[in-house]
Structures are given as C-alpha cells and as structure tokens.
Amino acid sequence: MNPSALFARAEEFHRRDALEDAERLYRQILTIDPAHVGARYHLGLLRFQQGRHHEAVLNFDRVLAARSDHRDALYNRATTLAYMGLRAEALLSFERLLALEPNHFEARYNRAIALWHLKRPAEAIADLDRVLAIKSDFAPAWNIRGNALRDLQEPEDALRSYRKALEVDPGYGDAQRNLGSPLFETGRIEEGMREFRRFAEKAGPGAVEARPHKTRHDQEQRAYRNGAEGFHIEPGPRLAQPTVNPGRADIGVQWRKASPQIVVIDDLLSQPALEGLRGFCLGSTIWRNTFEEGYLGAFPEDGFACPLLTQIAEELPIAFPDIFASLPLQYLWAFKYDSRLQGIKVHADFAAVNVNFWITPDSANLDPQSGGLVIWDQVAPPEWDFAAYNGEAAPIREFLSRSGARSVRVPYHANRAVIFDSNLFHETDHMDFKPGYENRRINVTLLYGRRKTN
C-alpha cells in the first residue's frame, strides 16, 4: 500500500482515537518515506495526546526543519511548550507564526496568555485587545484581560473586563469567580463576598481529591451535622454589635516600633462573633482544598464568604488604623487541621499585612506552649515570585539559615490574632490537639494590601 493510502487509514484511526493503530501506520509511512511531513506532523499530535510532550515537540521540530512555514506545526509546537510550562520558548513559536499570519486568532490569544504568565501584563493586554477586535464576544479573552489589569493594579478596569466576559457569556465561571477580588481591592468587601458566595453556590462541591485525612474530616463533619449530606454554606449573618473588640492604644505604637513587624492581640473578636464564625466553619461543607501535609483549606470561591466575615474585615482597619492605614482587603481563607498530621510549611504570603487568628477553644490544645505560629525575622527577597516564596521548604530554610534569621514563636490561644508583615517567612508550630471534630485547630487569615517588592 502506498503512503497516501496508508496516511488516509492512519488519519481515520486517529479520528477514532485508535492511537496504537494510528501510530503503527504513521511509523510505517515514515519508514517508506522519512520526509513525509503529514505523517511526522500527525505523529507529533498523537504524542501530545499520549502525554509525551517532549517527543511531540521533537516531531514538530522535524516538520519545521523540512517546512519552516508549516503553520499548524508552529502553533502546536507553541501550545505544547506552553502546556509544559516553557512559556518563554512557546512565545518564540507564537511570534514566528504571527509573523506569517498576524491575524491568527488562536496564536494571538495564546501568546497573550503566555505573556501574562511571564509577568508582562501590558503586552498581554495589547494582544488581547487585538483578539477582541476580531471576536468581541470571546469571554476567555475578557477574563484574562481582567487578570492582567489586576496585575497592573487597575481593579476598576479589571472589573469591567470580568463583567464584559459575563455579559457575553453569563455562565463563564472563571470570570464569576474572579469578580470578588477587585471588589475587595476597591473597598467593596460586602459586594465581593456576595460574588464569591454566588460563585460557590452555583459551582457546588465540585471534584475533590480523595485523601484519607479529607475522608476522615468529612465523616466527622457529617456526624456533627447529624448525618446531613450535600453542599451547604451556613448563613454567617452580620451582628448588631461590633465584631472586633476595641483596639488598645499601644497596639499602633508596638506596630510602628516592632522589628520585625509582629504584634499579638488577645481577645480579638467579641464572644458572639467568635462563636458565630466558629459555627460557620464547623457547619459549612466548604473544606474542599486538600493539602498533603494534612490540613484542609476553605477559600472565598469555595464558600468561605459570609456577612459576618465582611463585618470582621471591615472593622479590623477601624480598630487598628495605625496598622492597616488605607490598605484594602486582598483575600482571605481558613485552614482546618488534623491533630495526627502536620501544619503549613514555611512560606510567605502575597500581601502587605497578614492577620492570622485562631478560633478553636483552648480546651482542645494539649500543649499551651505550642500549636501556634513560628515567624522569622527575615522577609522573602523582593525578586522571589509566588512560586519561590510559597514553594519547596528546603530552599527557603537554606535562605533563612544563610541569612542568620531568628524565629519568634507565638503559642496557640483561642481568639488570639497575630498581625505581621506578610512578607515575613512563617509556618505552623508543632501541634498537639485532642482528637474529635470540634477539637480540630482552625485558623483564619485575612490579607491586606499588596506585597512590597522594593
């Protein structure tokens, strides 16, 4: 059988996802005709489908060695490299293709995504605007445009882009999820919480990684909820009275003079606020993020959003103006722990000020001298990105050792807040809590302002 007939059969197998048969025929063609561009190109596509991305790129390279203007090979080479996280290399292939075809819609859009990931948001927006000039109802481009505008600290413009994405596609979940953050940044905390909660209620529980400690937690929570199943978010209503206890006058002085900037505040919340927030965390089935160390996370887009949290976030800067000044709320979350496992490894956070407080009763803590937070007197280097200061612990510990950093240990205490420069490295202290659902250690974190990088 000649190569043309074999190629037609191979393509048919490929269309039917009979990849082994397709590969066998592509290889047979290349044995007969090593320069057969079609077989080589489709073998590259097949390798990508098999998850053998490096081999896919090698096949596309061989196609381009024979035909440097093969546009499909250029595009798929670029998208494969981007999928592998090699975005700078992907960018070169996108640019080669766009030099041949400036209005290649997919290449222009994917180049914009690569630029955004490479921390070049202004260039990404320029490409996205060209994409939207071709197809103004393309919701993903509006959404990425919103992300890039947030990076440029243009939250109002970011909001307009996210809302445009939802205007052209009301069901576009990524834009719905992203609305909350720029609303926080522009001081509209209540509206941002509503948007996060709306997203969570619409998305539901979603797929969750099944790890033993997640299963154990869910069984305990189901028993706490008297066997009730399904996705549920507690109301978490506002209180008629203040949630944050009045700030002491010396706290602002401590903050200004502290080096490193760390202050500890006991009895942060009023008793009704503490009990209300604890009830919200115990009863809401929002603990969807599973971390290998053994703790669970709840984020606003999971449903960690309610009027009570809005009230707390609004009142903190009023109670402690010297700490927060005009810094807007950036984000928030809660973590829930398993007494048999570990806490959060050493890291820094993407904000200016970190508010970390604990809401599990002291009776659950078997060691009053530990169970809290360890903070180092060393900030993450300004050139480190999120992946570096939130990545593997070993390089961070090596940096701390090399820097001669010293640690401050803050023992666990219910309703105790630790407020500190979010750029300081910190981790969960050793924990020894009683077993049982209501004894699980819970901490709440609110981040204000953007991380300092200079």
Give strand pairing partners of 27: none
pLDDT computed for residue 2 by the predictor: 79
Q: Where do we find the tokens 């919340």?
A: 269
User: Following DSSP, what letter does each residue of 395-409 receive, concatenated?
Assistant: HHHHHHHHTT--EEE
pLDDT computed for residue 448 by the predictor: 97
Other Cβ atoms less than 10 A from the Cβ of 267: the count is 13
Tell me if 3-198 shares its fold with 215-448.
no
pLDDT computed for residue 454 by the predictor: 57
Q: Evaluate whether 413 touches 362 at the Cβ level (below 8 Å).
A: yes
Q: Which of 297, 431, 443, 278 is nearest to 358 (CA)?
A: 443
Residue 25 pLDDT level (bands cut at 50, 70, 90): confident
Residue 247 pLDDT level (bands cut at 50, 70, 90): confident
Q: Evaluate whether 346 touches 426 at the Cβ level (below 8 Å).
A: yes
Residue 387 pLDDT level (bands cut at 50, 70, 90): confident
Give φ, ψ of 72 to 5 degrees: -65, -40
The predicted-structure confidence for 395-443, as pLDDT tens digits, reads as follows 999 999 999 999 999 999 999 999 999 999 999 999 999 999 999 999 9
CA dist 177 to 63, 110, 214, 303, 446, Å? 41, 21, 24, 11, 18
Q: Which of 72, 68, 71, 73 is nearest to 58 (CA)?
A: 73
The predicted-structure confidence for 221-237, as pLDDT tens digits, reads as follows 999 999 999 999 999 99
32-41, 152-161, 261-270, 394-403: segment of lowest average pLDDT: 32-41
- The number of residues making up the chain comes to 454
The set of residues, in sequence order, having a beta carbon less than 8 Å from that of 424 and lying 6+ positions away, is 260, 261, 262, 348, 375, 376, 377, 378, 379
The predicted-structure confidence for 54-64, as pLDDT tens digits, reads as follows 999 999 999 99
What would the mean pLDDT of 148-174 be, rounded to a whole number? 97
E strands, 337-387, in order: 353-358, 373-379
CA dist 214 to 285, 436, 443, Å? 12, 14, 17
Taking each continuous run of H as one helix and of E as one strand, the counts in the chain are 20, 10
Q: At what angle do helices 271-283 and 307-319 cross, to 10 degrees?
A: 140
DSSP at 113: H
The predicted-structure confidence for 72-82, as pLDDT tens digits, reads as follows 999 999 999 99
Other Cβ atoms less than 10 A from the Cβ of 162: the count is 30
Residue 295, pLDDT above cutoff 60: yes
The predicted-structure confidence for 95-144, as pLDDT tens digits, reads as follows 999 999 999 999 999 999 999 999 999 999 999 999 999 999 999 999 99
Residue 1 pLDDT level (bands cut at 50, 70, 90): low
pLDDT computed for residue 389 by the predictor: 87
Helices (H), 204-290: 212-224, 249-257, 271-283
The CATH number assigned to the domain with range 215-448 reads 2.60.120.620
Residue 453 pLDDT level (bands cut at 50, 70, 90): low
Domain borders along the chain are: 3-198, 215-448
CATH 1.10.1200.10 fits 3-198, yes or no: no
